[in-house]
A and B are shown apart, each in its own frame.
Chain A
Amino acid sequence: EVQLVESGGGLVQPGGSLRLSCVASGFTFSSHWMHWVRQAPGKGLEWVSRINKDGTRESYADSVKGRFTISRDNAKDTLYLQMNSLTADDTAVYYCTRGRLSSCLDLWGQGTLVTVSS
């Protein structure tokens, strides 16, 4: 089955760190750009970051630049998001997504909830 499964979410204190993982299955992971998208409670979708097929190029939303790092391990079919210096504004469901041409996100995981609170 073609799917993305995120993990690693949870409750973290302000200023803390968390690493999200996303395991891909059912398709050739190394052939796709991958993205992270988040959704704060009751809010719209916000693009967070993307990484190219071989992990050599990354880009980030201004809201997370310098704090978050996207990476991938193609041998393990796994995408990561290292999140540091977390604030309450980072509280959201984080979705792992597969990119196609022109950054169309054609496959989404179920999401993992990150809550930043003391």
Chain B
Amino acid sequence: QSVLTQPPSVSGAPGQTVTISCNGSSSNIGAGYDVHWYQQIPGAAPKVLMCGNTNRPLGVPDRFSGSKSGTSASLAITALQAEDEADYYCQSYDSSLSVVMFGGGTKLTVL
């Protein structure tokens, strides 16, 4: 069981907006540690979507945006496309466990 909690699945129709949450605690997200987001297409290696809460690396479409507040973070995907169907993971650092950690992952289905 992950210390960072994500919904197991979300879905949306093409063109819609979906949001994936990542709930942590006072020893990780709430302590000010950055949250990063990754996308993993089935059968491929993960790819970074968001570094440092809100920063999109070069090449990541601006349909993807990140936010952080208190002990939680979110990834929003607007104008949903079929190619967005993938698993999404949040990641942060936990000071009480002294480890880097991932959320359990969220499977996005584009209807």
- For B103, the chain A residues whose CB sits under 8 A away are 44
Q: How far is the CB of A110 from chain B (nearest CB, A)?
A: 6
- For A101, the chain B residues whose CB sits under 8 A away are 34, 51-52
B75-111: CB near A (< 8 Å → 1, else 0) gives 0000000000001010101000111111111000000
A48 closest partner in B (C-beta): B100
- Structural contact, A108 and B47, CB atoms closer than 8 A: yes
B48 at the interface (CB under 8 A from A): yes
- Structural contact, B46 and A45, CB atoms closer than 8 A: yes
Q: How far is the CB of B96 from chain A (nearest CB, A)?
A: 12
Interface size class of B (residues with CB under 8 A): 20 to 34
A44-B2, A109-B45, A111-B45 known; A102-B36 Cβ under 8 A: yes
Enumerate A81-117 residues with CB–CB distance to B below 8 Å.
95, 100-106, 108-111
Interface size class of A (residues with CB under 8 A): 20 to 34
Quick one: which of A59, A100, A104, A105 has the most chain B CB within 10 A?
A104
- For A108, the chain B residues whose CB sits under 8 A away are 45-48
- Structural contact, A105 and B36, CB atoms closer than 8 A: yes
A72 at the interface (CB under 8 A from B): no
- Structural contact, A106 and B45, CB atoms closer than 8 A: no
A63 closest partner in B (C-beta): B99
Q: How far is the CB of B23 from chain A (nearest CB, A)?
A: 15
- Structural contact, B52 and A47, CB atoms closer than 8 A: no
Q: How far is the CB of B70 from chain A (nearest CB, A)?
A: 18
A54 at the interface (CB under 8 A from B): no
- For A50, the chain B residues whose CB sits under 8 A away are 100
Q: Which of B34, B38, B99 contacts A102 (CB 8 A)?
A: B34
Sample (5) of A-B pairs whose CB atoms are under 8 Å apart: A44-B87, A45-B46, A103-B100, A105-B91, A109-B45
Give me the interface of B with A, judged by CB distance under 8 Å: 2, 33-34, 36, 38, 40, 45-48, 51-52, 57, 87, 89, 91, 93, 97-105
